[in-house]
Amino acid sequence: MPLVEVSGLTRSFGDTNALAGLDFEVERGTVLGMLGPNGAGKTTAVRILTTLLRPNAGTALIDGINVATEPRRIRTRIGLTGQYAAVDERLTARENLQLIGRFFRMNKADSRERAAELLAKFRLEEAGDRVVSGFSGGMRRRLDISMSLVARPIVLFLDEPTTGLDPRSRMEMWDLIDELTADGMTTLLTTQYLDEADRLADQILVIDHGRGIATGTADELKDRVGGARVSFDVGDAAPEAVLAGIGELRSALGEPFTADGAFVVPVRPGTTAPQVMRSLMSAGIDVVDFELQRPTLDDVFLTLTGRPAEEVVADE
């Protein structure tokens, strides 16, 4: 039985349908990546599953417990890390963690022990007794996630965990989430980035206007989108010469087209960009610029809906 089962979830705010019949499941010990643009309904779904919002229709079960009718039982079983690092800046990291422990009815000794454990696990030991207002964005996020884990939840919700982080903190956050999920944590994460969902999720659910429009593994989705592309600038070389240069690789590539004066060729799985590069060079074509383009959220949307991902401003 899946740990999280959602069916027909509907929620509107005024005239806006934030969720219009969302269905999905999350199996135990797996990561579901919910992928969609701003306003697609990701945060609304997370808020309903974490008891912060009631659905208008549909059901959401976590471990068989109905989220809408037994919110209190749900709250002892979940961990939530929202879009903003919800930490108390006036307290130390340790005090933040102990506070959550106390709220989960741990006694003083247990909450202290659990706080120390989490500080160590999240590499916050040294900073543990410093006031959080001096923390970097990455440290805040680490503390935020560790606060969600105090009571050992059975499912963790991460709502856009890397939004607003610099590239280095983003990588660190990915590693951290990897570690958690390697321990078997069932996780639902939302993201606007295909590469993030690709990197972290076992299953990806693409959502648009409050509805799931595709689901599958990252590879399955990328196959539908057409995978990566190479784009190269060949200066004055004639298109025929370029096609000839690609030569025997032609069959492993998609239909080439030109965009912004550059040749763009889709690459099918099994073919690598360096192979394309090599065949061009051995044909004597002067490659000025060469770039590997990975599919983005926009490509996914373009393929699935025939239009790019669009932001819906009114979320809630």
* Ramachandran bin of 276, using left for φ above 0, alpha for ψ from -120 to 50, beta for the remaining angles: alpha
12, 75, 163, 250: residue in contact with another protein (rule CB under 8 A): 75
Work out how close the CB of 81 gets to another protein at its nearest, in angstroms, rounded to a whole number.
9
What residue type is 310 in one-letter code? Answer: E
Work out how close the CB of 146 gets to another protein at its nearest, in angstroms, rounded to a whole number.
13
8, 25, 38, 86: residue in contact with another protein (rule CB under 8 A): 86
Alpha-carbon distances, residue 174 vs 42, 62, 149, 224, 240 (angstroms) = 19, 25, 17, 25, 44
257 near another protein, rule: CB under 8 A = no
Q: DSSP secondary-structure letter at 149?
A: T
Q: Tell me how many residues contact another protein (CB under 8 A).
A: 38
Work out how close the CB of 11 gets to another protein at its nearest, in angstroms, rounded to a whole number.
10
Q: DSSP secondary-structure letter at 82?
A: -
Interatomic CA distance for residues 144 and 315, integer angstroms: 23
Of 87-95, 172-180, 209-217, 274-282, which part binds another protein (CB under 8 A)? 87-95
Work out how close the CB of 74 gets to another protein at its nearest, in angstroms, rounded to a whole number.
9
Are 88 and 96 in contact, with CB atoms under 8 Å apart?
yes
Q: Which is nearer to another protein, 142 or 229 (CB)?
A: 142
77 near another protein, rule: CB under 8 A = yes
Of 49-57, 164-172, 201-209, 279-287, which part binds another protein (CB under 8 A)? 49-57
- Binding to another protein (CB under 8 A): which residues in 125-184? 131, 147, 154
What's the token pair of residue 1?
């039985």
68 near another protein, rule: CB under 8 A = no
50 near another protein, rule: CB under 8 A = yes
* CB proximity list for 167: less than 8 A, separation 6 or greater: none
23 near another protein, rule: CB under 8 A = no
Going through the chain in order, the beta strands assigned E by DSSP cover 4-13, 16-26, 31-35, 57-62, 65-66, 78-81, 155-159, 186-191, 203-208, 211-216, 229-233, 257-259, 262-266, 289-293
Contacts with another protein, residue ranges (CB under 8 A) = 1, 28, 47, 50-54, 63-64, 72-73, 75-78, 80, 82-91, 95, 99-100, 102-105, 131, 147, 154, 316
